[in-house]
Amino acid sequence: MGITDRKEREKQEMRKLIISAAMEMFIKEGFDRTSIRNIADKIEYSPATIYLYYKDKDELLYEVQGQAFLELYNAFVRDVTAIDPMERLEQLFHSYVNFGFEHPDLYDLMFILRSPMNAVDEGNDWPNCEEAYKFLTDTLESCIDQLRYENAQIAALTIWALGHGLISLFIRERIKVMQLPDDQIRNVITATVNEQLRLIKK
């Protein structure tokens, strides 16, 4: 292995170390306490070292967001196993909502916090989300003839919006307005998903 190859490998290993530490800190301590300095302390490097790889916290959290989306995509692959197209859609919808229940801090980073999106240049695509979103649109295209939609993109936006709304209300504790016991909230959200699935079928 040449010097150039070795240096490139070392750079990639350092990026992985930084991202891993940032993700762990974000999950355990939240957005406000995840700082460049704290991450540097965790990996026992100086903040200046991290700034060689990321210009600011927003850019670093954008990388963490990418890893979170990879986890969401892997959850889809794991959970969506049916052959029947409609069953696959049902599994996908529940997989999305369950991910939000089980990983509220990551969901916040992926879909609610503005900070990581500051690292996306205006007018550019959002590649972090593309693979998971394509999983949704591909699933819908395979069963669109069984739904009350003619366009898979509109169907995707509608289903995504409902799932996102439910999980956002849950994460930010706005669902408290329903005055439900904590142990019933998840059941109500799951029932809402099932009702939406029933309503969109022909």
200 CB contacts (<8 Å, ≥6 apart)? Answer: 147, 148, 149, 155, 158, 159
What's the whole-model pTM score?
Answer: 0.90
Nearest to 111 by CA among 95, 119, 100, 127: 100
d(CA 124, CA 95): 28
Reported as a single tens digit per residue, the pLDDT across 107-144 is: 999 999 999 999 887 766 899 999 999 999 999 999 99
* Tokens (6 digits) for 28: 């355990």
Q: What is the rounded CA–CA span in Å between residue 41 and residue 62?
A: 20
pLDDT tens digit sequence for 23-68: 898 888 888 888 899 999 999 999 999 999 999 999 999 999 999 9
